Structure 1
Amino acid sequence: MRPSGRAPDALRPVSIQTGFARHAEGSALIRMGGTEVLCAASVETRVPPFLRGKGQGWVTAEYGMLPRATHSRGHREAAKGKQSGRTQEIQRLIARSLRAVTDLKALGEISITVDCDVLNADGGTRCAAITGAWVALRLALEKLVRDGTLAALPLKGQVAAVSCGLTAEGAVLDLDYDEDSTAAADANFVLTAEGGIVEIQGTAEKDPFTEDQFNALMRLARTGTAELFRIQAATIEQVTRA
């Protein structure tokens, strides 16, 4: 039995609340169990210097964790004057994931930054951030279409992410902190609704894991992201109907 009492292939309870950041062009507060991440998409009608005059847009992300998002208080990175390597790695992952499903040419010379701030952390913060960031991005792009800035939605599909791991109970989906901290191996899967793989980050904590074990994790990831895609789509549909 998992510490949470969930079946091996069960996600934690997931919800996505839109419009939480009132001033952002698109926002989503995603909850996956005890993990809560606020994702806010901001639009700028300019692009970074390396893209000027090239007729394409840019999507990027920033990631941060509130000091008491974890069990003990963490230091604000702004107070240190620099971001940690972990923070930089995660925000680059989020940005790559969003760009993988965005038609940057169709976006034109527009930049969208999605800020992902962890309010409460209980494992899987980067996965929750990617899943919520897509919703925030989609809402921001829909606003650009409604305003007449864009003729059509420059999205190629959906992207979501979920963690899986090898524990004493075997292969399990969507690790919380208790499982993540003791897992023999864990992996983050960033997948698209069309079946594509954007990125897989997998690590054995002690002994190497086998290809069969990896395939078991991959099957769980497909199961989990299928449900996340459904929740994303239902969230967008609910906003559209309102």
Structure 2
Amino acid sequence: KFGDTHVLVTATLEDRLPPWLKGQGRGWVTAEYGMLPRATSERTRREAAAGKQSGRTVEIQRLIGRALRAAVDLEALGERQITIDCDVIQADGGTRTASITGAWVALAECIGWMKGRNMFKNGNGDKVLRDNIAAISCGIYQGTPVLDLDYAEDSEADTDANFVMTGDGRIIEIQGTAEKTPFSQAEFLKLMALAQQGIGRLVDLQKMAII
């Protein structure tokens, strides 16, 4: 839960791989993302009923997968695939950042489950997960940098950005847009510093969740 944004996240271990990865001695981590029709204040049509995924959905699930793979040693994982499913059951802004942060917890629990069943060879179980991954949104709202914008703040923000980082503060991805007014480099650096603080707190919560 990120405030009033709630995402159900699960991890599934499979012995199958994408065809282009077979026989290469490494695994894969991928993600799927979806939003329930009444996750928002007004019902949205199911994408299955529309017959295709929206561009937004495709973008977000690719982002989740990229972010998680940055923390995983795919060779140590072996020829297996872990699929992360992120289903938004209530949305109040920041669904992609909540999904990424929760997805890492699900991934860590899956790898812990595998280690408990001696599914790794040569001590690779301790090498698979290299770092925590968390994400947070930041924006300039009414002239003030704000962390983890809700829907109302996001709708009125001058600037909106999403930061994905490792547990030690390295950057995986930044998505930033000037919604109303262009922002300066100094303002951007303030947002990044705020995001680093927020992600530090999220990483602490992740560690508590998997103890």
Measured against the shorter chain, the TM-score band is: over 0.9
The residue aligned with 1:141 is 111
The residue aligned with 1:17 is none
CA offsets 1:141-189 (integer angstroms, 9 cap, x no match): 1111111111414101000000000011411111011100100010000
The yes-or-no answer on 1:103 pairing with 2:73 is yes
The residue aligned with 1:156 is 130
Give unpaired runs (5+ residues) of structure 1: 1-30, 238-242
What amino acid maps onto 1:211 in structure 2?
Answer: Q
Could you tell me whether the CA contact under 8 Å between 2:147 and 2:198 is conserved in 1? Answer: yes
Match of 1:93 among 40, 48, 63: 63
Could you tell me whether the CA contact under 8 Å between 2:67 and 2:164 is conserved in 1? Answer: yes
What amino acid maps onto 1:215 in structure 2?
Answer: L
- 1:194 shift after superposition: 1.7
The residue matched to 2:61 in structure 1 has which SS?
A: helix
CA offsets 1:40-60 (integer angstroms, 9 cap, x no match): 000001211000000000000
User: Within 5 Å, which residues of 2 pair with 1:122-137?
Assistant: 122-137=92-107
The yes-or-no answer on 1:64 pairing with 2:38 is no
Give unpaired runs (5+ residues) of structure 2: none
**Structure-1-length-normalised TM-score:** 0.84
- 1:206 shift after superposition: 2.1
The yes-or-no answer on 1:50 pairing with 2:20 is yes
The yes-or-no answer on 1:199 pairing with 2:177 is no
- 1:207 shift after superposition: 2.1
Number of corresponding residues:
207
Moved over 4 A (4+): none
The residue aligned with 2:156 is 182
Could you tell me whether the CA contact under 8 Å between 2:38 and 2:44 is conserved in 1? Answer: yes
What is the aligned-residue identity percentage? 57
Is the deviation greater in 140-149 or in 156-165? 140-149
User: 2:141 & 2:114 partners in 1: Cα distance?
Assistant: 45
The residue aligned with 2:48 is 78
**Structure-2-length-normalised TM-score:** 0.97
The residue matched to 1:181 in structure 2 has which SS?
A: helix
User: 2:168 & 2:184 partners in 1: Cα distance?
Assistant: 27
